[in-house]
Amino acid sequence: MSKKRILTGDRPTGKLHLGHYVGSLHNRVKLQRDYETFVIIADVQALTTHFEHPESLKNDIFQITLDYLGAGIDPNISTIFIQSLVPALHELSMYLGLIVPVNVLRHNPTVKAEAAQHGFKDMNYGFLGYPVSQTSDICAFKAHLVPVGEDQLPHIELSRRIVRRFNSLYKPVLVEPEALIGQVPRLTGLDGKAKMSKSLDNAIFLADSDKEIQQKVRNAVTDPARIRATDPGHPDICCVYEYHKVFSEDELPLIREECEGGKIGCVACKNKLSSALNNLLKPIRSKRTQLETRPDIIWDILHDGTAKAAAAAQQTVEEVREAMCINYFQQ
């Protein structure tokens, strides 16, 4: 039997950070051998908010591909492709849009939060409808599993709803997808306030140098009640400890004990974290840097991946057309 499929991906709006890594990228790397994996670089979706700045897309696509490959997505077994270049996705969006009530889109909490973040008062049609386009991305590949960050759950829920409606109205050709959320669904930024995000300037990027990591960790917020290194600390309200939970799992009991006992100061504790992060990111960074000098290889991977994805998506669209009785020239 052939493998089940994964469809997953990101908007190319800048370099990926640790939040992406623990939220979904790690899962994708881990599962790429068990599932036939397609990774979408959603440039059209990026344009739903960045339509005034299309000129940065090409470099953003290049950078995100470096992040994927650096993190361990293997282009020999996974297919990385560019959304805008797969016509079947846009065709399918049109068909699926026929069966989605506008009110359902209006109530999508992630869309609402993004609209507020970008200061959209009146939402553009493409922006309001991007979860439908995302549903086409998933459905065109008949993906069973969608490894994504927690903020994507409303979209996958919508996809499931659309698939059920389509399959019962026409023919059961589409697959109801399931979301897979990472080990840490919502990594807090180093400011300890909000989710890690590029726009909030609280992110550690996969491409960050050892120095940048150290500097960012040094500025992280710890227990405010702790003034001297010998004061007993409170790891449960400390942002650095939150990170140790994820990135220094083995040392966790020791770190807690030393912090609570005033045996380790925040500076030393932060140094431990920087070196754990650096150990994780070093191989990613070095592969990334190495590939960065070979743009020809990157664009070849994207070119071939896109051709392969386009063929797979086209096949589904043909089944969809048949189910919807619009395959006029076939008998």
Binding site for ligand TRP (CB under 6 A): 7-11, 40, 42, 45, 134, 137-138, 146, 148, 152
Instruction: Name the minimum Å distance from CB 204 to ligand TRP.
Output: 18
Tokens of 287: 């592969």
> Would you say 28 or 285 has its CB closer to ligand TRP?
28
* Nearer to ligand TRP among residue 113 and residue 225 (C-beta): 113
Minimum distance of ligand TRP from residue 12's CB (angstroms): 9
Gyration radius of the chain over CA positions: 22
| Phi, psi of 79, rounded to the nearest 5 degrees | -110, 115
Inter-residue long-range contacts of 243-247, CB under 8 Å, 24+ positions, other chains counted: 243/190, 243/217, 243/273, 243/277, 244/269, 244/272, 244/273, 244/276, 246/22, 246/183, 246/184, 246/187, 247/273, 247/276, 247/277, 247/280
By C-beta, is 100 or 237 nearer to ligand TRP? 100
Nearer to ligand TRP, 148 or 259 (CB): 148
Closest chain position to ligand TRP (CB): 42
CA-CA distance, 178 to 248, in Å (whole number)?
30
Give the residue from 148, 31, 163, 44 showing the smallest Cα distance to 100: 163
Is residue 249 classed exposed, middle or buried when 0-12, 13-18 and 19+ CB atoms within 10 A define those classes?
A: exposed
Considering the complex, what minimum distance in angstroms separates the CB of residue 298 from ligand TRP? 20
For the bound state, the minimum distance from the C-beta of residue 134 to ligand TRP, rounded and expressed in Å, comes to: 4
CB of 130 to ligand TRP, least distance (A): 7
Q: Please say which residue, 11 or 244, places its beta carbon nearer to ligand TRP.
A: 11
